[in-house]
Amino acid sequence: MAEDQPKPVGPDLGQGIALAQLPDGGKLVGHVGDDEVLLVRRGAEIFAVAAHCTHYHGPLVDGLVVGDNVRCPWHHACFDLRTGEALRAPALSPLACWTVEQQSGKIFVREKRAEKETTVRVGRSGTVPEKIVIIGGGAAGFAAAERLRRVDYQRSITMLSDDDAPPVDRPNLSKDYLAGTAPEDWVPLRPDSYYPDNAIDLRLKAHVASIDPRAREVALADGSKIPFDRLLLATGAEPVRLSIPGADQPHVHTLRSLGDCRAIIARAQTARRVVVLGASFIGLECAAALRTRGIEAHVVAPEKRPMERIMGPQMGDFIRTLHEEHGVIFHLEDTASAIDGKWVKLKSGAELEADLVIVGVGVRPRTQLAEAAGLSVDRGVVVNAYLETSAPDIFAAGDIARWPDPHSGESIRVEHWVVAERQGQTAALNMLGQREKFTSVPFFWSQHYDVPINYVGHAENWDDIAIDGDIPAKDCVLRFNRKGRTLAVASIYRDLESLEAELAMENVSA
């Protein structure tokens, strides 16, 4: 993501620093020329890598070093300090690395090392599939294709997406891009040239109509058929649409794709007042983004507190107050009954004027293809720990997948960007015959104005919430506990604790 590079900070590492300035286990940021470089010391070894995460430029010096890896404080990407390799999404590009020398009690950072074309290679045991087909051009589908090429898979990859845009950074669509504070070139996950350059046959506006698991082929809506040796289902989720009168009018929008977002932005050019139906993450992020554009925002939702079911009452109250401080007007414990021209009618009898309506009442996993193909479906496509569906050589990842989460001990399905990407990456390796279990601790983030909320783990219910810090002061950690175990941790500006909680959860299985 493009960003103005700040002036290099810290000591000039080319000139060298005293070894004593970097104690064992320590981290330090300096510069070499215009590049900011992170130095990490582990015993006698010293690593020098780019100081900022390749996802959204998070400061790795504030992250967590675990073994030979560093984890980003913002959205928990993980990098190999030896090679710079992006080991875990959401970062997909490696960090630059520098050569380090030690002389006479000083550390010198020398030349930048050439990026290795491929730093991970998978074993070639078993048969390498000739044709891999991915249905879905979103988080999971893209991360799978990217991982396949990164591990040097050289055969055919076909990616089918019924969207008209190549894979995009979907979380941005309800945040900076919608707010008008991020340029459009932040939105694609890769430039258009990436796909031909990497021999990924990305077919847009290609709606898959059916899958034949026995014949091992998928049929497109235009009647054409595409054979596969391995298939990844990554069809994501679609917004739930309201069936109330007037919900089909042109000023009523849902938000999933870049096209949806562009349509909202076009309407926002002249809109004075938006009514957001639903106090979900996406609904509230949209309200925040449109407030940034100076549009009056009303949020209508049936619950007593926004996001209470996921974040608990204390965080729910905070989120409400935060939005109210920015001018959002809530109409809680109420729902829309009709959209009549420029008026949204509520069950309570109230009427709200709106020239833009955004429906954010949740999403439904796109499981129709899997169901019709006879795959096991239970509120999501059922997969095992290897992300295999009930049909041989067909895998599923992302918002559609219900997988056995070893941490909660439950079969869960979540709608998180990072989980979708990491599942895509694991599925990619398993399609090549690896047997890698998907064991990542679920993680998501949400951004409201200048307040990021990070959430690690998974708690559908809890006995108590232990609060450390001060929620209104935007400095807190909330631990969701059940039967004496912490199942999930939500935090605001306590990034290190969020990373430490993730690490602790990795080491505990239900």
Ligand X SMILES: Cc1cc2nc3c(=O)[nH]c(=O)nc-3n(C[C@H](O)[C@H](O)[C@H](O)COP(=O)(O)OP(=O)(O)OC[C@H]3O[C@@H](n4cnc5c(N)ncnc54)[C@H](O)[C@@H]3O)c2cc1C
User: Where along the sequence are the contacts to ligand X (CB under 6 A)?
Assistant: 135-141, 160-163, 170-171, 173-174, 206-208, 234-237, 255-256, 282, 366, 369, 398-399, 415-418, 420, 444-446
Query: CA-based angle 305:312:476, to the nearest 5?
Result: 115
Nearer to ligand X, 40 or 173 (CB): 173
CB 390 within 8 A of CB 112: no
Q: Which of 40, 46, 50, 53 is close enough to bind ligand FES by CB under 6 A? A: 53
Minimum distance from CB of 398 to ligand X (Å)? 2
Residue of this chain nearest to ligand X (CB atom): 138
Minimum distance from CB of 265 to ligand X (Å)? 13
Residue with tokens 């190549």: 166
Q: Which of 41, 75, 422, 458 is close enough to bind ligand FES by CB under 6 A? A: 75
Minimum distance from CB of 510 to ligand X (Å)? 22
Nearer to ligand FES, 54 or 486 (CB): 54
The binder of 91, among ligand X, ligand FES, none, by C-beta within 5 to 8 A per type, is: ligand FES
The binder of 170, among ligand FES, ligand X, none, by C-beta within 5 to 8 A per type, is: ligand X
Q: What type of residue sits at position 428? A: A
Q: Which structure tokens are listed for 111?
A: 């030349």
The binder of 138, among ligand X, ligand FES, none, by C-beta within 5 to 8 A per type, is: ligand X
Helices (H), 97-256: 139-150, 176-179, 194-197
Minimum distance from CB of 60 to ligand FES (Å)? 8
Minimum distance from CB of 239 to ligand X (Å)? 8
74 contributes a contact to ligand FES by CB under 6 A: yes
Q: Which structure tokens are listed for 217?
A: 């082929």
* Count of residues interacting with ligand FES (CB under 6 A): 10
CA distance 429 to 422: 11
CB 252 within 8 A of CB 245: no
CB 218 within 8 A of CB 228: yes
CB 158 within 8 A of CB 132: yes
Q: Which of 38, 47, 49, 56 is close enough to bind ligand FES by CB under 6 A? A: 56
The binder of 256, among ligand FES, ligand X, none, by C-beta within 5 to 8 A per type, is: ligand X
Distances (CA, A) of 261 to 170, 279, 323, 363: 10, 18, 21, 16
CB 186 within 8 A of CB 177: yes
**Which H or E run contains 110?**
strand 106-112
State the burial class of residue 506 (Cβ atoms within 10 Å of its Cβ: 0-12, 13-18, 19+): middle
Of 410, 398, 318, the closest CA to residue 138 belongs to 398
Q: Which structure tokens are listed for 472?
A: 């209104």
The sheet with strand 69-71 has its strands ordered as 64-66, 69-71, 78-80, 86-88
The Cα diameter of the chain in Å comes to 79
CA distance 481 to 475: 20
170 contributes a contact to ligand FES by CB under 6 A: no
> How many residues are given for the chain?
510
Lay out the site mask for ligand FES across 1-40 (x = CB under 6 A, - = otherwise): ----------------------------------------
Minimum distance from CB of 97 to ligand X (Å)? 29
175 contributes a contact to ligand FES by CB under 6 A: no
Minimum distance from CB of 256 to ligand X (Å)? 5
The binder of 365, among ligand X, ligand FES, none, by C-beta within 5 to 8 A per type, is: none
55 contributes a contact to ligand FES by CB under 6 A: yes
The binder of 74, among ligand FES, ligand X, none, by C-beta within 5 to 8 A per type, is: ligand FES
The binder of 458, among ligand X, ligand FES, none, by C-beta within 5 to 8 A per type, is: none
The sheet with strand 401-405 has its strands ordered as 381-382, 401-405, 410-412
The binder of 440, among ligand FES, ligand X, none, by C-beta within 5 to 8 A per type, is: none
The binder of 137, among ligand X, ligand FES, none, by C-beta within 5 to 8 A per type, is: ligand X
Nearer to ligand X, 336 or 420 (CB): 420
CB 79 within 8 A of CB 91: yes
Residues 236-255 close enough to bind ligand FES by CB under 6 A: none
Minimum distance from CB of 79 to ligand X (Å)? 20
Nearer to ligand X, 47 or 444 (CB): 444
Q: Which residues lie below 8 Å from residue 103, measured CB to CB, with a gap of 6+? A: 16
Strand 252-253 relative to strand 356-359: parallel, antiparallel, unpaired? parallel
72 contributes a contact to ligand FES by CB under 6 A: yes
Minimum distance from CB of 171 to ligand X (Å)? 3
Q: Which residues lie below 8 Å from residue 193, measured CB to CB, with a gap of 6+? A: none
CA distance 109 to 230: 45
The 10 Å Cβ neighbour count of residue 89 is 28
The binder of 75, among ligand X, ligand FES, none, by C-beta within 5 to 8 A per type, is: ligand FES
Binding interface with ligand FES (CB under 6 A): 53, 55-56, 58, 72, 74-75, 77, 90-91
